[in-house]
Chains A and B, each alone.
Chain A
Amino acid sequence: MTASPPAPEAPAAAIEARGLTKRFGDRVALADVGFAAAPGELLAVIGPNGAGKTTLLSLLAGIREPDAGEIHLPRGEVGFVPQQAALYRRLTVAENLRLFARLERVDDVEGTVERMLGQTGLGERRDDQAGTLSGGNQQRINIAIGLLSSPAVLLLDEPSTGLDPRQRGRLWEFVLALAGRGTTVIFTTHDISEAERYAERVLVLADGQGLFDGTIGELHAAAPAGGAESSDFESAFVRFLAERGH
């Protein structure tokens, strides 16, 4: 798919991108990708490794400049949560939150820190150094830091990588609650089942190309039929990619 036509609910879109292209030297990491997402929507960007998912998020976050295309953010800031926890392991949970709240210049630093401690459920561990926390808890703080500026859109790059199933469950609980409060959440994953379970819509990337933009059901329908034993979403996805030469 190339730049998708603006959705009917375009005026209400929290984020909208058109014709995004990014090259690294000769390599085209992203070619003419576009989409839009509404407030409170959970959008998964899926695709194999090297498909361009991280590159897309870094363009949306403003970390990199696109070579072509444009991004509209009618409702303000985006929050970005990198794949690896970006926090200081020698600072405590509260100190990390406080530092980034100050750098974000939020009005009520202490109030915001308390709110985030509440939302992450890490209030009891506020004075522990972040490095002593489990990967799952570090990821929650990582996300909480991304939320400090109360962004309209939250970008999560492979948020559940490296977490055990229980940690994943609690992470998604947290993310779903965010979306429930109206934050648009765009997350990347190469775990198809995760996208199937939590995302309302999926954007499929492969070799920098946007191949599909729609609901899970629509992706199922678009994939060629397989055998009875391979009717699950994952194999449907693989067949979908194979049919398009990826």
Chain B
Amino acid sequence: MRWLLLKDLQIMRRSPLLTVLLIAYPIVIAVLIGFALSRGPDKPRVAFLNEVPPDSPLSVGGEDFDLAGARSELCERIECVPVSSEEEARQKVESGDVLGALILPADLIDKLQTLAGLDPESPTVKILVNEEDPIKAGLVDDRISALLAAANLRISQEVSDVSTSYLNILLNGGDFSFLGDDGFNVLGLRKSEQILRGVRRQLPPDSPDLDALDSVIRFSHLASENLGVAGQLLSSVSQPIKVDKEVVSGDTPSLDTFAIAVAATITLMFVTVLLVAGSLALEREENAFARLTRSLVSKSALLCEKILLGVVVSLVVTLLMLAGLGLFVDLDWGRFGLWIPAILAGGAGFAAFGAAIGGAAKEVRAASLLAFMISLPVAFLSLIPSGTVAPGLYDAIGVVTALFPFDPALRALTGALDAGGPAIGIAIVHLVILVVAYGALARLAVRRFA
């Protein structure tokens, strides 16, 4: 087996085209992806129109809402292009100069103010999106939605704070000011109850007002108890689910990790599948298969050698590629211990798959063609995100892609590169199952060889 492996490496070294491909390909991919990533994802250009009068202060429940801060926060995540009218915004979106426009209408502040009042009206912002580039449009949509969700959360928090403070005044009494009016003093339910009880004590026992007073005392007692609970209720509604956010891996956005994992998996796939399929087919093309398997090595051992060849070469090439990428982006080298099993398992999966293809094809060219024709569509299918196709179709795609090593290899690599990725263990088990299955298929295929 050792000598066969050595022989295959020797043959590889003497095949200039193959070597160039195997070394140049991952480097080119690494440089391209690295360049794209290090430039950072282009901030989408979004036209920004603020029709809110500049001197209108936004205060909710006495606290100033920091509109300028919200604006600069927004413009950090997207490139804000200031426009002076909705017409101009519309033009820019239509011409493709910007991907979308965000318009804050003049009555935004007024409506925001009403939220804390007795007659609330929903404030509305307007978004214009250019759907010509659906992927980027989706990106803008997503970012604006995320920003609005955050804003909504903040506003509802403030509204509930205000409501709670109203409740407190109602319960315990205090100064109450409404929309800048001069404040007036409110007595509060609890104090009312106390006063009423004092009054009751002074009434003669046969007073005709006693019954009426008792029912008022009961009411204020019940009301103060129940409104006390309402305050807690209100604050829980304003933030229905508590988010416990934990930042685990510094500042690497997971999009980068995913892009790196895709690049690594595609490299792993092409290098391994082409090499193993080609190398097995070469044994037939050189007529050496019958000679080897007659008495020198068993067919299973020969297959194992090919898979081992694929795993060894793909490990080297993928690590080379990741090292190349490391020049452009921050890789978490602390997770190196997980990269290795992920690459090994992925490499073995692709190698077994390549062996099955090499077993089915008679010559190297046919094997390469077959490898390309099957691998590429499967890789594309595996990259289809959920929600972009009908659910039934998506499930069908899931079944198909689970039969090929690309999807589990991508999951293993993403999981290995990023703590936020999928579970690497499950992906590796998946790959091991595929190695066994494709190994068996390859073994069946070479039975017909001789």
Is the A/B pair a real complex?
A: yes
| Bound-complex Cα distance A82 to B286 (A) | 11
The residue of chain A having its C-beta at the shortest distance from the C-beta of B289 within the complex is A86
Report B101-144 CB contacts with A as 1/0, cut-off 8 Å: 00000000000000000000000000000000000000000000
A80 CB contacts on chain B under 8 angstroms: 291, 294
Asked if B15 is at the interface (CB within 8 A of a chain A CB), the reply is yes
> Which residues of A line the B interface, CB within 8 A?
58, 61-64, 77, 80, 82, 84-91, 95, 99-100, 102-104, 129, 145
Contact B7 A88 (CB under 8 A): yes
| Contact pick for B7, options A61, A82, A85, A99, CB 8 Å | A99
Asked if B201 is at the interface (CB within 8 A of a chain A CB), the reply is no
A100 CB contacts on chain B under 8 angstroms: 291, 296
A98 to chain B, nearest CB (A): 9
B242 CB contacts on chain A under 8 angstroms: none
Asked if B426 is at the interface (CB within 8 A of a chain A CB), the reply is no
Asked if B376 is at the interface (CB within 8 A of a chain A CB), the reply is no
The number of residues on chain B lying at the interface, defined by a beta carbon within 8 Å of a beta carbon of chain A, is: 18
| Contact pick for B290, options A86, A99, A104, A129, CB 8 Å | A86
| Contact pick for A89, options B3, B286, B292, CB 8 Å | B286
Contact A103 B292 (CB under 8 A): yes
User: What are 16 A-B pairs at a CB distance below 8 A?
Assistant: A62-B294, A82-B287, A84-B287, A86-B287, A86-B290, A87-B286, A87-B288, A88-B11, A88-B286, A90-B15, A91-B7, A91-B10, A99-B7, A100-B291, A104-B296, A129-B14
Asked if B374 is at the interface (CB within 8 A of a chain A CB), the reply is no
| Bound-complex Cα distance A80 to B10 (A) | 25
Report B277-315 CB contacts with A as 1/0, cut-off 8 Å: 000000000111011101111000000000000000000
| Bound-complex Cα distance A103 to B287 (A) | 16
B29 to chain A, nearest CB (A): 26
Contact B3 A102 (CB under 8 A): yes
Q: Number of A-B pairs whose CB atoms are under 8 Å?
A: 52
B10 to chain A, nearest CB (A): 6
Asked if B450 is at the interface (CB within 8 A of a chain A CB), the reply is yes
> Which residues of B line the A interface, CB within 8 A?
3-4, 7, 10-11, 14-15, 286-288, 290-292, 294-297, 450
B297 CB contacts on chain A under 8 angstroms: 103
* Extra A-B contacts (15), CB below 8 Å, given A87-B286, A91-B11, A104-B296: A62-B295, A63-B290, A63-B450, A86-B287, A88-B7, A88-B286, A90-B15, A91-B7, A91-B10, A95-B7, A95-B10, A99-B7, A100-B291, A103-B4, A129-B14
A87 to chain B, nearest CB (A): 7
B14 CB contacts on chain A under 8 angstroms: 90-91, 129
| Bound-complex Cα distance A84 to B294 (A) | 15
A89 CB contacts on chain B under 8 angstroms: 286
A63 CB contacts on chain B under 8 angstroms: 290, 294, 450
| Bound-complex Cα distance A80 to B290 (A) | 10
| Contact pick for B11, options A86, A90, A104, CB 8 Å | A90
B290 CB contacts on chain A under 8 angstroms: 63, 82, 86
| Bound-complex Cα distance A62 to B295 (A) | 8
Contact A86 B288 (CB under 8 A): yes
B292 CB contacts on chain A under 8 angstroms: 103
| Bound-complex Cα distance A31 to B311 (A) | 46
The residue of chain B having its C-beta at the shortest distance from the C-beta of A130 within the complex is B286
A61 CB contacts on chain B under 8 angstroms: 294
B2 to chain A, nearest CB (A): 9
| Bound-complex Cα distance A152 to B295 (A) | 15
Contact A103 B3 (CB under 8 A): yes
A96 to chain B, nearest CB (A): 9
| Bound-complex Cα distance A104 to B10 (A) | 19
A129 CB contacts on chain B under 8 angstroms: 14
| Bound-complex Cα distance A129 to B291 (A) | 19
The residue of chain B having its C-beta at the shortest distance from the C-beta of A98 within the complex is B3
B295 CB contacts on chain A under 8 angstroms: 62, 77
B288 CB contacts on chain A under 8 angstroms: 86-88
A104 CB contacts on chain B under 8 angstroms: 296
